[in-house]
Amino acid sequence: MSATNPPSNPSDASAETDRVHVSILLDRSGSMASVVDDTIGGFNTFVEQQKKLPGECRVTLVQFDSQDPHEVVFDAIPPREVMPLTEETYQPRGGTPLLDAVGALIQRLDKRVAVDPSEDQLVAIITDGHENASGHFSKEEISGMITLRERGDWTFVFLGADIDAFGEAAGIGIGGGRSGGYDRSADGLRMAFSDVSSSTAAYRAMTRAERRSKKESLLADAREEREQSGGQS
């Protein structure tokens, strides 16, 4: 899909656009310490793959742990401007305030959408543990927030390691076709980020109408494509 200029009137819902904002919500809790290098490598590979694609895209990275459930590493910049993640910028620590992290990110994105509703929102949540440290949002509140926004031009995907990823995702309103599990290992992280990258590439290549109709199977389709290709990223 070739790149297009943003519509002159961002509120014109009839204008087709390929403008996408991808937000990665990345678990930085202490249990990720055993896979630091693999997480860093997986994220950096994701960015390099997105740089090669046509179309207008901006990327946000938010890390979360119990010391800071909403640390914005970079905010809405083109993939070509993203600096590599390093051991200095990704240091696992603390617990897993997953609900607070998701809630804070949604509130942040609400402000962005209020200014420019013509930009579609893709949110990828990557975690390796159960919720254990939130104090501001309940699971019911997050589920309601996600469900409401997905009625519009938002899409959420969820990848969880060593947990019931499908059950955890369903508990916050993310369907099975947009959730998946992975092993907390080098191969597991590689496949997880490969699926996120493939999902993002597919999403960026769609029209807005296609995104609305195909979002429910977005991650499942990427996972199937990877498995059919022999599991290669």
Q: Write out pLDDT tens, residues 51-98.
A: 999 999 999 999 999 999 999 999 999 999 999 999 999 999 999 999
Has residue 35 been placed in a domain? Answer: yes
pTM score, whole prediction: 0.90
Q: Write out pLDDT tens, residues 133-148.
A: 999 999 999 999 999 9
11: confidence class by pLDDT, cuts 50, 70, 90: very low
Has residue 101 been placed in a domain? Answer: yes
pLDDT at 231 (0 to 100): 63
Burial of residue 114 (number of CB atoms within 10 Å: 0-12, 13-18, 19+): exposed
Q: What domain range is 146 assigned to?
A: 20-89+96-228
The CATH number linked to 64 is 3.40.50.410
Average confidence (pLDDT) over 8-21: 54
Has residue 73 been placed in a domain? Answer: yes
pLDDT at 151 (0 to 100): 92
Has residue 166 been placed in a domain? Answer: yes
Has residue 158 been placed in a domain? Answer: yes
pLDDT at 97 (0 to 100): 97
Number of structural domains in the chain: 1
Has residue 203 been placed in a domain? Answer: yes
